[in-house]
């Protein structure tokens, strides 16, 4: 790990690192917020997965999460959203596919399968690296926004034993049935829709044994709500599976980080409670 920067924030530090990823076959950068408690001992981690076009920096700069994270003693790790520097054919042509749009799946189709294995990167390689080199514990929570909300739901539904809690802001809930998801899955996973099921939260939700309660905030004025995000599909699946799910529709809010910043404290407290940190909050 090469440290790229370190900046003080509410008694802790916002840091950026670079490393060579064996999973993605390229160099990757990621961001970390270490609260002041990390100076005296390891702290739990909230893994934040960002959305389309984002990098590891969007959340750290726009969400305003550091103040409460410092009070709670909660670290935050922000991976990037796709491999970088691979320059595959067509990788940079569209904002909703390829660069910045890894969709947190393990690609099976060439040429994407050599690099686009974001699920293994954010659930295995990067956690192992962070937990071995930074003052954090193996206690994990996961959250994200939009495509990253889809990623957070995948992590919690595919491997719920790895996480204490899950939440999401405006997640892509049913990617097999929305233009963003169909475009990405067709390229990364192939045309057989049976292979998509393992990467679709709405379809996965009916099969899980460990049911982590899901908290979702969704802006009522989100322009992507009906066509792309489809929270109603996830809600219906949760009802059928008796899976605990809370979706809060927020009037007057859209898809932006103004929306995320408005409710991020609720999500931090949701995770802090599951991680046993809530007594540290005011």
* pLDDT tens track for 59-111: 999 999 999 999 999 999 999 999 999 999 999 999 999 999 999 999 999 99
Active-site residue, selected from the candidate residues 80, 200, 217, 222: 222
Q: Give catalytic status of residue 146 as yes or no.
A: yes
With a cut of 70, say whether residue 282 has pLDDT above it: no
The one-character DSSP state at 141 is E
Cα angle 96, 152, 220 (rounded to 5 degrees) comes to: 70
Six-digit token string for 207: 């099969």
Give the whole-angstrom CA distance, residue 254 versus residue 40: 40
Torsion angle, alpha carbons of 220, 80, 75, 132, to 10: 150
The one-character DSSP state at 121 is I
Cα→Cα distances 72→79, 102, 205, 221, 250, Å: 21, 31, 30, 31, 25
Domains and CATH numbers, the chain: 2-275 (3.40.50.1820)
For the segment 129-184, what is each residue's pLDDT rounded down to a tens digit? 999 999 999 999 999 999 999 999 999 999 999 999 999 999 999 999 999 999 99
For the segment 184-238, what is each residue's pLDDT rounded down to a tens digit? 999 999 999 999 999 999 999 988 989 999 999 999 999 999 999 999 999 999 9
Cα angle 250, 255, 257 (rounded to 5 degrees) comes to: 100
Q: Give catalytic status of residue 222 as yes or no.
A: yes
Nearest to 122, CA basis, from 90, 97, 147: 147
Residue 279 confidence class, pLDDT cut points 50, 70, 90:
low
Give the whole-angstrom CA distance, residue 57 versus residue 40: 26
Give the whole-angstrom CA distance, residue 205 versus residue 202: 6
User: Are the CB atoms for 78 and 50 separated by under 8 Å?
Assistant: yes
Active-site residue, selected from the candidate residues 255, 267, 270, 271: 255
With a cut of 60, say whether residue 281 has pLDDT above it: no
Active-site residue, selected from the candidate residues 21, 50, 99, 146: 146
Residue 280 confidence class, pLDDT cut points 50, 70, 90:
very low
The H-or-E segment that residue 5 falls in is strand 2-9
């Amino acid at each position: 790990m090469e440290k790229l920067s370190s900046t003080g924030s509410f008694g802790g530090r916002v840091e950026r690192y670079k490393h060579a990823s064996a999973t993605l076959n390229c160099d990757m950068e990621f961001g970390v917020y270490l609260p002041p408690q990390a100076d005296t001992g390891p702290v739990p981690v909230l893994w934040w997965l960002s959305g389309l076009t984002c990098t590891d920096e969007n959340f750290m700069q726009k969400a305003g999460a550091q103040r409460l994270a410092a009070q709670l003693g909660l670290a935050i790790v922000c991976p990037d959203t796709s491999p970088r520097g691979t320059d595959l054919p067509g990788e940079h042509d569209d904002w909703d596919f390829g660069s910045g749009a890894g969709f947190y799946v393990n690609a099976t189709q060439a040429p994407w399968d050599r690099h686009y294995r974001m699920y293994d990167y954010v659930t295995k390689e990067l956690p192992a690296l962070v937990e071995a080199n930074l003052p954090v514990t193996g206690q994990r929570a996961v959250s994200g926004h939009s495509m990253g909300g889809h990623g957070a739901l995948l992590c919690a539904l595919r491997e719920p034993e790895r996480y204490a809690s899950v939440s999401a802001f405006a997640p892509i809930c049913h990617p097999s049935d929305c233009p963003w998801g169909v475009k990405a899955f067709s390229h990364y996973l192939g045309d057989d829709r049976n292979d998509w099921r393992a990467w679709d939260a709405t379809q996965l939700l009916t099969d899980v044994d460990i049911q982590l309660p899901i908290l979702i905030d969704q802006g009522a004025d989100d322009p992507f709500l009906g066509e792309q995000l489809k929270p109603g599909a996830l809600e219906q699946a949760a009802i059928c599976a008796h899976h605990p799910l809370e979706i809060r529709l927020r009037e007057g809010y859209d898809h932006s980080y103004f929306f995320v910043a408005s409710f991020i404290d609720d999500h931090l407290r949701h995770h802090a409670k599951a991680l046993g940190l809530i007594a540290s909050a005011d």
